[in-house]
Amino acid sequence: MSKIGIFFAPKGGSTEKVAKKIQAQLPDADLHCVADIEISEMLKYDKLILGIATIGKETWDQDYKKSGWDLKLPVVENTDFSGKTVALFGLGDSVTYGLNFVDAMGILGRTIKKQGGKLVGFTDTKDYNFTESQAIENDQFMGLPIDEDFEDEKTNERITQWIKELNDSML
């Protein structure tokens, strides 16, 4: 089994907490905060797990200091991910922001695919309550959606099930 790189942002919140839970089930995986690395660090791994949060309107309406994926996405858009197997997880608020649930995961997923990466770890939408999401492709989420605001009691079970499903395509 080749090494897996887990890359997440932002630092210090729910996305980091979920990234650490994923790493706990994949103890040989390396964990990195996107803000602390160059995108070229990702290219050292053939298997990637990328975690991203969708910010809410309260953040959009404020002076928001860009960090993590916000600063790295332009580099990702110009990086060749051919030969990379990529699983995504995204955090979002399905109640307050049901019209934008885990949109950032979809934006990142489409970018990775456009740059040659192979996405795995799609998740059925049926266990989620939301209105719209840019993270849906062929009636599935492009990765694992997590709602730590309103469904945190489901997080551990969702991660465990997702990791089991990744075994066939990634691990």
CATH of the domain at 11: 3.40.50.360
Whole-number pLDDT of residue 89: 98
Would you tell me how many other CB atoms lie within 10 Å of the CB of residue 2?
10
Instruction: Confirm whether pTM is higher than 0.85.
Output: yes
pLDDT of residue 137: 96
pLDDT of residue 97: 86
pLDDT of amino acid 54: 85
Res 74: pLDDT: 92
Radius of gyration over alpha carbons of the chain, in Å? 15
Tens digit of pLDDT per residue, the chain (171 long)?
Answer: 468 999 999 988 999 999 999 999 998 999 999 999 999 999 999 999 999 998 754 444 445 456 689 889 999 999 999 999 999 999 999 998 888 999 999 999 999 999 999 999 999 999 999 999 999 999 999 999 999 999 999 999 999 999 999 987 776
The set of residues, in sequence order, having a beta carbon less than 8 Å from that of 139 and lying 6+ positions away, is 125
- Report the C-alpha dihedral over residues 91, 153, 23, 101, rounded to 10 degrees: -10
Token reading at 77: 């858009």
Cite the DSSP H helix spans in the chain.
14-25, 57-60, 69-76, 103-114, 155-169
In 3D, which of 37, 28, 46, 17 has the Cα closest to residue 120?
A: 46
Number of domains present in the structure of the chain: 1
Contacts of 153 (CB under 8 A, 6+ apart): none
Other CB atoms within 10 Å distance of the CB of residue 161? 14
- Confidence at residue 66, expressed as pLDDT on a 0 to 100 scale: 62
Residues of the domain holding 42:
4-169
What per-residue confidence (pLDDT) applies to 65? 53
